[in-house]
Chains A and B, each alone.
Chain A
């Protein structure tokens, strides 16, 4: 599969701040959904802005759809669609007028533009409100229109910067469905940034965790979680007998800790190990009184690679610790 995005040593430094993006390298295969996951101020938006030619590259190089971001910015712009973090539609224009203006600026013939605009409005279920001014749209409708405005010219790559930030869960789920459909049905390659763990987990083929300007780890969500060495199973057993050694001897159990009569087991896949665990406890004439298990999450992956949870990272970046990144980001978006 060919690479639709190839970034090597991408670095961005602003004169008044530290490195906002520091020697970042990654590749996105054609037809893939690639997510850059990290807290605010991690350098995600700066990375997406460099790839979309809106921010200059201090060092390194990047290719999008085979074109150099630095040397062929015009060509890159005609091959990509960009959906920024904020809704940036023209409120005074009608929905369809926003689409047709985008088509004109992408040099599409009028007849083709009108046909495509109709298709896209149907795709995001806005065909009935396409003739209304955007000022009358709800927040979710605006996001849906913004998404398809970036698709009017059938780009090879779609860049989404925090596509569902600030949306309610129903609208967010709907946007996810559109993104999945665009990827599956039209084979569209998608590069997105997000600080929502669930969003990255649900949508992405590949997730790269970014923190403080660098990519800490990348892989498919299942790989990243599997690297944490599996699920956690918690058991309570009657009888007061210490079963630690017995449980440790079972195949696939990698770690056992006993606390107040309950056991916490780490194992690659709880589903495959559970029958053996139940049988061995029953063979001791004991009964399991309580059980629960958890699958590893991307938050645990984030914790593992950065030493802090996403929630802590988000809080610290709004409370001062991440100010240097936040201010760099602010200066860039002015």
Chain B
């Protein structure tokens, strides 16, 4: 199954290198989130006395981030993963609409390789956006301030976390893409799901800002798990024992989502691709 999955994944990536517009636009979303919303949402705006966008007394509530952009950048990396993965699944919908999926079904390959081919190509494309977002966070005014002791391991941890989150969303949205019959249905489902996922997460504001009834949802939202894990690495440099266990907790949550979504995706793919 692996060689077929890789072959199908490579097909999409080859296409992408010839027409990179969608991926580039997705990656550049981060510029708007950080440069525009990073300024307009910035709680430091209400603290007239704080210079250079410093969060001042709010720093503790924002996980120790010196600036709002420091807090926001991991959230935006996660949001870009969500929006990127949700829309990139459309390739599979087009494959269904133009009959290519039927052609693939006539090959002697496991049906799940079509699903996983979609998953890995989306993850590969999605991973391109993460370093771009990180760099934008560093260069915008009052931007990302890395914690003392930030090193290569932190960077590796950040990209591993984003790879995991991208996989979580890719398994989820590829499952939807392979099941729907038309592009209209796909975009309706994507629009219905992305905004609630985005705004019930801690991508923009810390958990303490949420009303009590929303906190449990925000806490287990995959975007919150990934954002919080990355924030630990960005803000703290070296992690303490309690921070390490918080980081591991976030990862366990993400892995659980990934496994459940992959399982559901496989079932959806099998059902959608079986002969009727």
* Chain B residue contacts of A97, Cβ below 8 A: 11, 14
**B19 sits at the interface (CB 8 A):** yes
- What is the bound-complex CA distance between A106 and B19, given in angstroms? 27
**A55 sits at the interface (CB 8 A):** yes
* Chain A residue contacts of B103, Cβ below 8 A: 82, 84, 88
**B7 sits at the interface (CB 8 A):** yes
Q: Mark A103-136, 1 if CB is under 8 A from B, else 0.
A: 0111100000000000000000000000001000
B275 touching A73, Cβ below 8 Å: yes
B7 touching A105, Cβ below 8 Å: yes
**A90 sits at the interface (CB 8 A):** yes
A88 touching B15, Cβ below 8 Å: no
- What is the bound-complex CA distance between A55 and B11, given in angstroms? 26
**B21 sits at the interface (CB 8 A):** no
- What is the bound-complex CA distance between A106 and B108, given in angstroms? 7
**A218 sits at the interface (CB 8 A):** no
Cβ-neighbour of A54 out of B14, B98, B105 (below 8 A) = B105
**A179 sits at the interface (CB 8 A):** no
* Chain A residue contacts of B99, Cβ below 8 A: 84, 86, 88, 333
B106 touching A77, Cβ below 8 Å: yes
With A93-B14, A104-B4, A105-B7 in contact, is A74–B98 under 8 Å at CB? no
* Chain A residue contacts of B3, Cβ below 8 A: 104, 107
On chain A, which size bracket covers the interface? 20 to 34
B7 touching A101, Cβ below 8 Å: yes
**A53 sits at the interface (CB 8 A):** yes
With A56-B276, A78-B108, A106-B108 in contact, is A88–B7 under 8 Å at CB? no
Report the minimum CB–CB distance from B74 to chain A (whole Å): 34
Chain B 13-48 interface residues, beta-carbon cutoff 8 Å to A: 14-15, 18-19
Chain A 8-38 interface residues, beta-carbon cutoff 8 Å to B: none
Report the minimum CB–CB distance from A83 to chain B (whole Å): 9
Chain A 31-87 interface residues, beta-carbon cutoff 8 Å to B: 52-56, 73-75, 77-78, 80, 82, 84, 86
A55 touching B4, Cβ below 8 Å: no
Report the minimum CB–CB distance from B244 to chain A (whole Å): 43
* Chain A residue contacts of B239, Cβ below 8 A: none
Chain B 254-276 interface residues, beta-carbon cutoff 8 Å to A: 274-276
* Chain B residue contacts of A242, Cβ below 8 A: none
A92 touching B106, Cβ below 8 Å: no
- What is the bound-complex CA distance between A75 and B109, given in angstroms? 10
On chain B, which size bracket covers the interface? 20 to 34
A107 touching B108, Cβ below 8 Å: yes
A86 touching B98, Cβ below 8 Å: yes
With A74-B108, A105-B107 in contact, is A93–B11 under 8 Å at CB? yes
A92 touching B275, Cβ below 8 Å: no
- What is the bound-complex CA distance between A90 and B11, given in angstroms? 9
With A84-B102, A90-B15, A334-B181 in contact, is A53–B275 under 8 Å at CB? yes
A55 touching B275, Cβ below 8 Å: yes
**B199 sits at the interface (CB 8 A):** no
**B155 sits at the interface (CB 8 A):** no
**B100 sits at the interface (CB 8 A):** yes
With A78-B108, A82-B106, A88-B99 in contact, is A55–B276 under 8 Å at CB? yes
* Chain B residue contacts of A102, Cβ below 8 A: 107
Report the minimum CB–CB distance from B117 to chain A (whole Å): 10
- What is the bound-complex CA distance between A165 and B100, given in angstroms? 18
B276 touching A53, Cβ below 8 Å: no
**B246 sits at the interface (CB 8 A):** no
Chain B 71-111 interface residues, beta-carbon cutoff 8 Å to A: 98-100, 102-109
B108 touching A88, Cβ below 8 Å: no
* Chain B residue contacts of A105, Cβ below 8 A: 4, 7-8, 104, 107-109
- What is the bound-complex CA distance between A73 and B106, given in angstroms? 9
- What is the bound-complex CA distance between A74 and B113, given in angstroms? 14
B4 touching A93, Cβ below 8 Å: no
With A77-B107, A105-B109 in contact, is A88–B102 under 8 Å at CB? yes
- What is the bound-complex CA distance between A77 and B8, given in angstroms? 18
Report the minimum CB–CB distance from B272 to chain A (whole Å): 11
- What is the bound-complex CA distance between A105 and B114, given in angstroms? 11
* Chain A residue contacts of B102, Cβ below 8 A: 54, 84, 88
* Chain B residue contacts of A80, Cβ below 8 A: 106
- What is the bound-complex CA distance between A90 and B8, given in angstroms? 12
- What is the bound-complex CA distance between A78 and B105, given in angstroms? 11
* Chain A residue contacts of B8, Cβ below 8 A: 105
- What is the bound-complex CA distance between A92 and B13, given in angstroms? 11
A92 touching B18, Cβ below 8 Å: yes
* Chain A residue contacts of B11, Cβ below 8 A: 90, 93, 97, 101
Scoring B4, B8, B18, B275 by chain A CB atoms within 10 A of each residue's CB, the highest score goes to: B275
* Chain A residue contacts of B15, Cβ below 8 A: 90, 92-93
Known: A86-B98, A105-B108. 6 other contacts (CB 8 A): A53-B275, A74-B108, A82-B103, A88-B102, A106-B108, A333-B99
| Cβ contacts A to B, 22 pairs, < 8 Å | A52-B106, A53-B106, A54-B102, A54-B106, A55-B276, A56-B274, A77-B106, A84-B99, A84-B102, A86-B99, A88-B98, A88-B100, A90-B100, A92-B19, A97-B14, A104-B3, A105-B4, A105-B7, A105-B109, A106-B108, A133-B18, A332-B276
